[in-house]
Structure 1
Amino acid sequence: MSGKLGEVEARIGATHQLEAVVGAMRGIAAARSRDAHARLAGIRACAAAAGAAIGDVLAFDPSSALPGAANSGDGAEVRIVIGAEQGFVGGLNDRIAEEALLRPRERVGHWLLVGTRLVSACAQRGLAQAWSVPMAAHPAAVPRLAARVSDALYARLADGERATRVTLTYALPGESRLRVVQRTLIPFDFARFHVTPRALPPLVNVAPARILARLVGLYVSFELCEALMLAFAAENEARVRAMLAARTNVQARLASLSQQYRAMRQDEITAEIVELTTGREAAQRAMD
């Protein structure tokens, strides 16, 4: 660093500006995380309603459960991996990519990646061929994103290659340490739904198997929406932690620069005093 006092003062000013930017980024990330958590209750309520309807269908016609749902078979897997769109999240994307690629991938027929930074992290690890979409920029955009991912998923389930397993990989928010989880969407687990026997079955004009298939599709969409919202919250919480660490470093740098500024200013004042004293003594000797 230059020893000039003006340059040190300019660097202190620039560091203060950086501190303001870090604080603003931390505040935005914290607000988005709170917004995402607030929207989770609505998503889970919708999923609970769909789950109750599935239980009702199973109550009056248990045989309507989709055939082969309990067996993954020998078909290919569709793996959905959700990461971050923006930077300043520490090692979040690297950890998610490592977790997704660590699991056996010989039978993975399709990769669906969410998040531009995650796509880059996966490409660095040899995954070049994958469908991808940017992560939502704010919580209100998550349902539209879930619809896009659902469309891509069902398009691959309907193609010529038979896929019998669909998994989700994403990070959870609200953890002291980063935690990446994997959930199975398909095969669909019907055993988790509460079935209440009915004395009289309801009157329906659509085949129970068809109703159940629609409800399962709806429930999977809600599960996907919930995972995306959780991943969005996790991304912003990781950014909050990164900004807190950055603020600590900025404050340490400010303290160092301020100390250097005071020392240089003291040296400058001392030099001026010495110069004035020497000049006065020289003037007195000249008068004598």
Structure 2
Amino acid sequence: MTERLADVSQRIGTTRQLGAVVNAMRGIAGARAQQSRALLPAVRAFAEIAARAIGQARLLEAPGTAAASRTQATGKPGLLVFGAEQGFAGAFVEQVLDAAEAGFGDAHVFLVGTRSAVLAAQRQLAVDWHGELPSRASAIPDTATLIVDALYAYLGQAGAVPIAMVYPVWTVGRGVAVTRRALLPFDPKAFPVAAGTAGPLTNLPAADLIARLGQEYVFAQVCEAALEAFAAENEARMATMAAAKTNIDSKLTTLQALERRIRQEEVTAEVVELAAGARARN
């Protein structure tokens, strides 16, 4: 009986330690999700500013100016997929990859996220470029720079092929939803001319100015997608850890009840032994 009680006590201690680890992981994920949410408004504001600037720069275009000729497309379309960097996020990794998997066969795939890259390899999906999501939201712009450089390097080889983004978005109460949107080629005509305003003062030709502003806009779009993916992964991890904590608390309650019952059985056994001894003496 004593050995059984010691075993249960040890299991209770181990379960409590596991609960502490789960709580720590949940707290870290919550802090990271909050950091990314705090940065998203600034990134979106930057994208809006770039979009307005492109509209103003279009005022400098000479009437009837033909669009610059693009390099003929010779390669596959590009597909930029933002997945998960780490595990312990439930079905989140599979959800994102399931949504993007259909496009892998016909595309030059850029996959961001180490855990997603492992899962893609297990599914024997071809990945042409792989990057990592950082552990801090503040490092997302550096990651976006690497991604944009890789995209433009591929466009230099493949020509003006279309590139789409696939990334997860977390909504409170509804969980994760996977979004797909076009990223490239950049089309200035998609930005309305800023009517009623004067054109900006610049020493650059209008086409060069618009092209540079377009690069800033694309960079902002990649930053936003990366932040959404970073936030979604950590929100999913928080939900997974919350479910794990509920299970751990239930298990701990069961073990504590078992410990009390064993202790009671030990007390009862001791009382029976004492009574038996008293009867034997009498």
User: Match for 1:174 among 161, 171, 175?
Assistant: 171
Query: What SS does the aligned partner of 1:239 have?
Result: helix
Contact between 1:76 and 1:162, CA under 8 Å: does it hold in 2? no
| Cα 1:267–1:158 shift into 2, 3 Å | same
Residue 51 of structure 1 corresponds to 51
TM-score by length of 1: 0.89
Q: In the TM superposition, what whole-angstrom CA distance separates every residue of 1:182-221 from its partner, at most 9, and x where no partner exists?
A: 1110133545534222575444332111111111111000
- Pairwise CA RMSD: 2.3
**Alignment pair present for 1:77 and 2:77:** yes
Query: What SS does the aligned partner of 1:89 have?
Result: coil
Contact between 1:65 and 1:190, CA under 8 Å: does it hold in 2? no
Query: What SS does the aligned partner of 1:127 have?
Result: coil
Residues in 2 aligned to 1:120 and 1:36: alpha-carbon distance in whole angstroms: 24
Structure 2: tracts of 5 or more residues without a match: none
**Alignment pair present for 1:39 and 2:19:** no
User: Match for 2:250 among 231, 243, 252?
Assistant: 252
Contact between 1:114 and 1:133, CA under 8 Å: does it hold in 2? yes
Between stretches 131-140 and 58-67, larger displacement belongs to: 58-67
Residue 165 of structure 1 corresponds to 162
| Cα 1:199–1:39 shift into 2, 3 Å | closer
Alignment-mate amino acid for residue 17 of structure 2 = Q
Residue 277 of structure 2 corresponds to 279
Map 1:1-288 to 2 at 5 A. 4-61=4-61, 66-67=67-68, 76-103=76-103, 105-108=104-107, 110-159=108-157, 161-175=158-172, 176-190=174-188, 192-198=190-196, 201-284=199-282
TM-score by length of 2: 0.91
Q: Could you list the runs of 4 or more consecutive aligned residues of structure 1 that deviate by over 6 angstroms after TM superposition?
A: none
| Cα 1:138–1:66 shift into 2, 3 Å | farther
| Cα 1:143–1:195 shift into 2, 3 Å | same
Shift of 1:59: 2.9
Contact between 1:64 and 1:212, CA under 8 Å: does it hold in 2? no
Structure 1: tracts of 5 or more residues without a match: none
Query: What SS does the aligned partner of 1:112 have?
Result: strand
Residues in 1 aligned to 2:113 and 2:199: alpha-carbon distance in whole angstroms: 46
Alignment-mate amino acid for residue 138 of structure 2 = A
| Cα 1:163–1:93 shift into 2, 3 Å | farther
Contact between 2:81 and 2:166, CA under 8 Å: does it hold in 1? yes
Between stretches 180-189 and 262-271, larger displacement belongs to: 180-189
| Cα 1:199–1:179 shift into 2, 3 Å | closer
Query: What SS does the aligned partner of 2:181 have?
Result: strand
Identity %: 40
Query: What SS does the aligned partner of 2:161 have?
Result: strand
Q: In the TM superposition, what whole-angstrom CA distance separates every residue of 1:214-253 from its partner, at most 9, and x where no partner exists?
A: 1111100010011101110001000000000100110111
Report the number of matched residues: 278
Residues in 2 aligned to 1:65 and 1:274: alpha-carbon distance in whole angstroms: 101
| Cα 1:102–1:145 shift into 2, 3 Å | same
Q: In the TM superposition, what whole-angstrom CA distance separates every residue of 1:95-116 from its partner, at most 9, and x where no partner exists?
A: 111111124x4531x2111111
Residues in 1 aligned to 2:88 and 2:226: alpha-carbon distance in whole angstroms: 19
Shift of 1:266: 1.2
